[in-house]
Amino acid sequence: MGVMTTTPLTPSRGLNVLHLFCHVEHAVDRDVVHQAMDEGLAAGLQVVTAAVMGAKADLCFMVLGEDLWELRRFQSKIQAAGLVVSESYVSVTEVSEYALGMPEEMIKARLYPVLPPSDMTAFCFYPMSKRRGEANNWFALPFEQREQLMRDHGKSGREFKGRVLQVVTGSTGLDDWEWGVTLFGVRPDDLKECVYTMRFDEASTLYGEFGPFYTGLVGDLDEVLDATLA
């Protein structure tokens, strides 16, 4: 890659988010992965690394940053290291329309999260949308009803405080579902219990549509590479 002279492309506020789910198919050059990581951090990116269980991917990089060009360059560098990006998700951090009244500090925490949380190494990502079915259509509900349903849903989620951290990023117009949900849990069954419990909230029961779930373990880059490269 030559000298980068592109004009930064940034959200008006908040961060671009890119989940990269990678397979180890060929020889992977660990040094080049480390170099991609170092250059990404130097360019202002945050990168969460996780080993992923099963066939969907071997490892995941969750990348956050202001300039979308830098996120794309990070992707190209890990591809050049030999990793195959098999699945991905594109989103931006956001404050939902139902949470606009939050204190400024909480708004900032949503727009500029600092990840990963410490001592929460159980990892899960899934995308979701709100149903637009012929009987149950979220987008046809009045704002007040949606707000109430989301308030109840949030309350149910907060019961897992300390066990699960939920990071919801917006992707309508950017990827195939309307939101990306990244969960960090203390234990694997915390993730399960949290998602299972929330499925009984009316917001999910009647209106939630869920995409594929990716489950793994957060670790530093070497822990993740040790666990997934032979």
Kindly state whether residue 219 participates in binding a copy of itself, applying the rule CB under 8 A: yes
Q: Which residues contact 209 (CB under 8 A, 6 or more apart)?
A: 128, 129, 130, 131, 177
Kindly state whether residue 145 participates in binding a copy of itself, applying the rule CB under 8 A: no
Using CB under 8 A, which of 27, 31, 42, 54 touches a copy of itself? 54
Strand extents, DSSP E, the chain = 16-24, 46-52, 59-65, 83-93, 122-130, 164-170, 179-185, 208-210, 214-218
Q: What is the DSSP letter of 140?
A: G
Q: List residues with catalytic annotation.
A: 126
> Considering CB under 8 A, how many residues would be counted as binding a copy of itself?
92
| 3 state DSSP class of 162 | coil
Binding positions for a copy of itself, 176-205, rule CB under 8 A? 176, 178, 183, 187-196, 199-200, 204-205
Q: Which region among 39-47, 98-106, 149-157, 209-217 touches a copy of itself (by CB under 8 A)?
A: 209-217
Question: Hey, what amino acid is at 57?
Answer: A
Binding positions for a copy of itself, 160-179, rule CB under 8 A? 170-176, 178
Using CB under 8 A, which of 43, 46, 99, 213 touches a copy of itself? 213
